Structure 1
Amino acid sequence: MRDEILSRGVTRRAVLGGMAGVAALSLAGRAFAAGGEAPALAQLAKEGKLPPLAERLPKKPMIVTPYEKVGTYGGTLRRGLRGSSDHNGILRMVGNQGLVRWNMDFTEVLPNLAERWEVNDDASQFTFHLIQGVRWSDGHPFTADDVVFAIEDVVKNNELYSAPPAQIVVAGKPVVVEKLDDYTVKFTFAAANALYLENLATPLGQHPTLFAKHYCSKFLPKYNSNLDADVKAAGAAGWTELFRAKCGDIEIPSRWSNVEKPTLDPWVVKEPYSGGATRVVMERNPYFWQVDTEGNQLPYIDELNFGISQDVESLMLNVISGKIDIQERHINSLANKPTLSQNMEKGDYRLLSLVPSAAQQCSLYLNMTHKDPELRKIFADKAFRQALSIGINRQEIIDIIYFAQSEGYQTGPRPGHPWYHEQLARQFTEYDPDKANAMLDQIGLDKKNGNGIRLRSDGQPIFFAIDVIPTLYPDLVDVLELVKSHWAQIGVDVKVNTIERALYYTRGDDNAHDAQVWPGPGGLDPMLDPRDYFAFHPQGSRYAIPWTLWYTSNGKEGEEPPESQKKRMKLFDEARSTADLDKRGAIMKQIFDLAAEDFEVMGICLAVGGFGVIRNNLRNVPEKQPDSWSWPNPGPALPQQFTFTS
Structure 2
Amino acid sequence: MINRRHMLSLLGGAATLTAVPRASGAFEYETRITDPAELEYERWSAERRLPKNPRVVDLEAMGRQLGKKGGRLRTLIGGQRDVRMMPINSYSRLVGYDTKLQLQPDILASYDVEDDRIFTFHLREGHRWSDGSPFTSEDFRYCWEDVIQNRDLLRGGPPADLKVDGEVAKFEVLDALTVRYSWSSPAPAFLPQLASPVPLVLALPGAYLRRFHARYQTPEKLGDLIVKYRVDDWQSLHTKVSRQNRPENPDLPTLEAWRPRTAPPAEQFVFERNAYFHRVDTAGVQLPYINHWVLNVASTEIITAKTATGESDLQSLGISFPDYTLLRHAQKIYPQKVSLWTRTQGSSVALMPNLNCSDPVWRGLFQDVRMRRALSLAIDRAEINKVIFYGLARESANTILPESPLFKPEYATAWSYHDPDQANALLDEVGLAKRDRYGTRLLPDGRTAGIMVETAGESTLETDVLELITDHFREVGLPLYIRTSQRDIFRSRALGGEIMMSVAQGLDNGVATSEMSPNELAPTSDAQLQWPLWGLHHMSAENGGTAPDLPAAQELLGLLKKWRQTTHSDQRLAIWTKMLEIHADQVFSIGTINGTKQPLVKASRLRNIPEDALFGFEPTSYLGAYMPDTFWYEGEG
Aligned residue for 1:270? 261
Partner residue of 1:11?
A: none
Structure 1's 115 and 280: CA in aligned 2 closer, same or farther, altered over 3 A?
Answer: same
Say if 2:168 is the partner of 1:185: no
Name the amino acid aligned to 2:206: K
How big is the alpha-carbon RMSD for the aligned residues of Structure 1 and Structure 2?
2.9
Whether 1:324 aligns to 2:307 is: no
- Indicate whether 1:65 and 2:55 are aligned: no
Tell me, yes or no, if structure 1 residue 74 matches structure 2 residue 70: yes
**Cross-structure match for 2:100:** 105
| In 2, Cα distance between equivalents of 1:45 and 1:53 | 19
Aligned to 2:41: none
Shift in Å, 1:53: 4.3
Shift of 1:453: 3.5
What does 1:132-151 align with in structure 2 at a 5 Å threshold? 132-151=125-144
Quickly say closer, same or farther: Cα 1:53–1:426, change in 2 above 3 A. closer
Q: Give the distance between the partners of 1:42 and 1:559, measured in 2 at CA.
A: 65
Q: How far apart in 2 are the matches of 1:510 and 1:233?
A: 37
**2:331 corresponds to which letter in structure 1?**
M
**AA at the equivalent of 1:244:** T
Superposed displacement of residue 542, structure 1: 1.3
Which residue in 1 is equivalent to 2:270? Answer: 281
Pairing of 1:36-55 with structure 2 (within 5 A):
39-40=4-5, 53-55=46-48
Which residue in 1 is equivalent to 2:250?
259
Structure 2 CA distance for aligned equivalents of residues 161 and 103 of structure 1: 36
The question of whether the paired residues in 1 share the 8 Å contact of 2:189 and 2:517 is answered with: no
Please give the alpha-carbon distance, in whole angstroms, between the structure 1 residues aligned to 2:139 and 2:449: 54
Shift in CA distance, 456/241, structure 1 to aligned 2, threshold 3 Å: farther
CA distance in 2, matches of 1:39, 1:635: 29
**Shift of the alpha carbon at 1:129?**
0.1
Correspondence 1:365-404 to 2 at 5 A: 365-404=352-391
Task: Write the distance in 2 (CA, Å) between the matches of 1:39 and 1:104.
Answer: 35
Q: Equivalents in 1 of 2:214, 2:451: separation in Å?
A: 46
Aligned equivalents of 2:526, 2:513: Cα separation in 1? 17
- Residue type of the partner of 1:92? I
Decide whether aligned partners of structure 1 residues 113 and 404 sit closer, same or farther in structure 2, where only a CA change above 3 A counts. Answer: same
1:259 alignment partner AA: P
1:328-339 mapped onto 2 (5 Å cutoff): 328-331=316-319, 333-339=320-326
Is 1:350 aligned to residue 337 of structure 2?
yes
5+ residue gaps, structure 2, are 12-43
| SS of residue in 1 equivalent to 2:259 | strand
Q: Residue 300 of structure 1 aligns with which residue? A: 289
What is residue 15 of structure 1 aligned with on the other side? none
CA contact (8 A) 1:155 1:207 kept: no
The answer to whether 1:429 aligns with 2:420 is no
1:560 to partner: Cα distance: 0.9
- Is contact 1:467–1:516 with CA below 8 Å preserved after alignment? yes
Q: Residues 451, 233 of structure 1: CA spacing in aligned structure 2 closer, same or farther, 3 A cutoff?
A: farther
> What secondary structure, in the 3-state scheme, does the structure 2 residue paired with 1:208 have?
coil
Residue aligning to 1:484:
470
Query: Which AA in structure 1 matches 2:249?
Result: N
State the Cα distance separating 1:421 from its structure 2 match: 4.1
Mapping of 1:126-275 within 5 angstroms?
126-155=119-148, 157=150, 159-160=153-154, 162=156, 164-209=158-203, 211-226=204-219, 227=222, 230-250=225-245, 255-272=246-263, 274-275=264-265
Using a 3 Å threshold, how does the CA distance of structure 1 residues 448 and 532 change in structure 2: closer, same or farther? farther
TM-score normalized with structure 2 length:
0.85
Distance 1:461-1:45 versus aligned 2 partners, 3 A rule: farther
Does the 8 A contact of 1:163 with 1:553 survive in 2?
no
Give me the whole-angstrom Cα distance separating, in 2, the residues matched to 1:474 and 1:404: 18
Aligned: 1:118 with 2:112: yes
Relative to structure 1, is the Cα distance of residues 319 and 84 closer, same or farther in structure 2, using a 3 angstrom cutoff?
A: same
Q: Secondary structure at the match of 1:105?
A: coil
**Which of 461, 482, 502 is 1:475 aligned to?**
461
Q: Is 1:85 aligned with 2:74?
A: no
2:348 to 357, 361, 365: 361
Q: Where does residue 8 of structure 1 map in the other structure?
A: none
Alignment CA distance shift 1:61-1:83 (3 Å): same
- CA drift of 1:165 comes to 4.4
Which amino acid counterpart does residue 612 of structure 1 have in structure 2?
A: L
Deviates more, 1:603-612 or 1:448-457: 448-457
Partners of 1:638 and 1:176 in 2: how far apart?
33
Following superposition, the deviation at residue 267 of structure 1 comes to: 1.4
- Aligned 8 A contact 1:326 1:614 in 2: yes
Contact 2:188–2:564 at 8 Å: present in 1 too?
Answer: yes
Residues 38 and 73 of structure 1 are in contact (CA less than 8 Å); yes or no, is this contact kept in structure 2?
no
**How much has 1:43 moved relative to structure 2?**
6.0
Q: What amino acid does structure 2 have at the position aligned with 1:62?
A: R
Deviation at 1:480? 1.2
SS in 1 for 2:362: helix
Q: Give the CA deviation at 1:183.
A: 0.9
Query: Are the structure 2 counterparts of residues 634 and 396 from structure 1 closer, same or farther at C-alpha, using a change threshold of 3 Å?
Result: same
1:99 positional shift: 0.7
Question: What secondary structure sits across from 1:513 in the alignment?
Answer: coil
Matching residue's letter, 2:116: A
Q: How many Å apart are 1:483 and its aligned residue?
A: 1.3
- After superposition, the Cα gap between the structure-2 partners of 1:289 and 1:606, relative to the gap in structure 1 and judged at 3 Å, is closer
1:516–1:542 Cα contact (<8 Å) kept: yes
Q: CA deviation at 1:38?
A: 10
Q: How far has the Cα of 1:512 moved from its partner?
A: 4.1
| Contact 1:358/1:520 (8 A) holds in 2 | yes
Distance 2:358 2:365 in 1: 12
Over 3 Å counting, the alpha-carbon distance change for 1:44 and 1:260 in structure 2 is farther
Partner in structure 2 of residue 565 of structure 1: 553
Tell me which amino acid in the other structure corresponds to 2:100: D
The answer to whether the 8 Å contact 1:155/1:161 transfers is no
Can you list the C-alpha shifts for 1:605-633, whole angstroms capped at 9, x where unaligned?
Answer: 23313231221111122323221212112
Residues 193, 577 of structure 1: 8 Å contact kept: yes
Amino acid at match of 2:280: V
Q: Which residue of 2 aligns with 1:594?
A: 582
- Residues 327, 132 of structure 1: CA spacing in aligned structure 2 closer, same or farther, 3 A cutoff? same
Does 2:574 match 1:580? no
